[in-house]
Structure 1
Amino acid sequence: MADADVRTAGPADADEITRIQVSTWRTAYRELLHPDVLDGLDPDTARNAWRQTLVDGPAAVLLATEGGVPVGFCASGPAPEPEAAAADGAIPDDLADTVLVSTLLVEPRWGRRGHGGRLLAAAAQQATLRGAARGITWVPEADAASTAFFRHAGWDPDGTVRTLDAGGIPLRELRLSGSLDLHLTTAAAG
């Protein structure tokens, strides 16, 4: 494998982040999302949203590269109350110490080379330096690969689920939660 790295993304990376997102969704989620949703992904809208995030936050975005080529990214930041709340709406006592990994994508053609694990580890390290101790993420229930990845890192379903409208088709998601003291294994390196 060529040199692999993770670095902080900047506004100039918005085009590559958008390319990775659109390409990965259209490849990896074709069985989970209605074709109209995937066909309707607007790269210009996504690019503008990523530029704004990269300039104003609130998420920090990390970019994985291999041989200098961007291959994946991770966006994480303080967990908003609605994302961290229990199913009954109760806000957890550790909300201030909780980070939301809102997006972690590696292009499928670059998968199984450790990029996902490096991204998650770097995001966890950044969050820990800011005082966070716990992470959460939402994963489509039918996305066995992503669920397995996070479980290998020590994050498990916490019993909270939600259903999103994905182009008129319900998309059930599980919330996974765990310590930022990750226990990545070779299988989780993604």
Structure 2
Amino acid sequence: MSDVTPTPDAAVRTARVTDAPDMGVLQAQAWHHDYSGTLPQDVLAELSPDLFTATWQASLQDPPSTVHRALVATEGDRVVGLAAIGPTDEPGVGELLVLTVDPSARRRGHGSRLLNAAVDTLRANDFREIRAWVPATDEQTRTFLQAAGVAPDGAFRDRELGSSPDLLREVRLVAGIVNE
């Protein structure tokens, strides 16, 4: 008899409207975990599962464009990660709008599967470049993306944080998408 415990099936698929509650909880938990030292507490308090769920439900029911996609990573029936992509204002350039994995499910390949699926989806829609804006203090995400070939190009922006007077510095990472 083996002492190895079977691992649940891991996959990435297009998100469904019925995934919105799981996506909302996951994003709220991940952002509170990842940005508790970066975002002001009053801003974090506004980032509730209900807020994210409502946003995901609306965008899944009526996507902003035909190119926008939300993807989820699963372990068995459980949603453990999510990614969202969409177009930028520049033709042929897509944006990785969100990429996050449940902190308890990290380092199991979900982020890589999500990023690969996002790039494949953009490639299938004739995009030639992917961009992502990442908080300058988010070393973990930046390191992950850079290891995958998505590198800083020197651009940055300061994002307003709701009613907070604080600004969040984000850096832009880019990579070419090669048609295979």
| Post-superposition offset of 1:20 | 0.6
Residue in 2 that maps onto 1:176:
173
Aligned residue in 2 for 1:75: 84
Which residue of 10, 27, 30 maps to 1:24?
30
Partners of 1:175 and 1:28 in 2: how far apart? Answer: 18
> Aligned partners of 1:75, 1:132: CA distance in 2, in Å?
15
Alignment of 1:155-170 (within 5 A): 155-166=150-161, 167-170=164-167
CA-CA distance at 1:129 after TM superposition: 0.7
Structure 1 moving runs of 4+ over 4 Å: none
Give CA-to-partner distance per residue, 1:39-77, whole Å, 9 cap, x none: 122433322221121122132000001122110100001
The number of aligned residues is: 168
* Structure 2 counterpart of 1:47: 53
* Residue in structure 2 matching 1:13, options 19, 29, 37: 19
The letter of the residue matching 2:153 is D
Please give the alpha-carbon distance, in whole angstroms, between the structure 2 residues aligned to 1:41 and 1:77.
22
Contact 2:24 2:51 in 1 (8 A): no
Q: Give 2:94's match in structure 1, choosing from 77, 99, 104.
A: 99
For 1:41 and 1:128, the matched residues in 2 are separated by: 32
The answer to whether the 8 Å contact 1:61/1:73 transfers is yes
- In structure 2, the partner of 1:131 is 126
From 122, 126, 136, give the equivalent of 1:141. Answer: 136
**Matched residues in 1 for 2:45 and 2:83: separation?**
23
Q: CA RMSD in A?
A: 1.5
Structure number with greater Rg is 2
Normalising to structure 1: TM-score of the pair? 0.84
In the alignment, structure 2 segments of 5+ residues that lack a partner are 1-6
8 A contact 2:25–2:52 mirrored in 1: no
Alpha-carbon separation, structure 2, partners of 1:120 and 1:174: 18
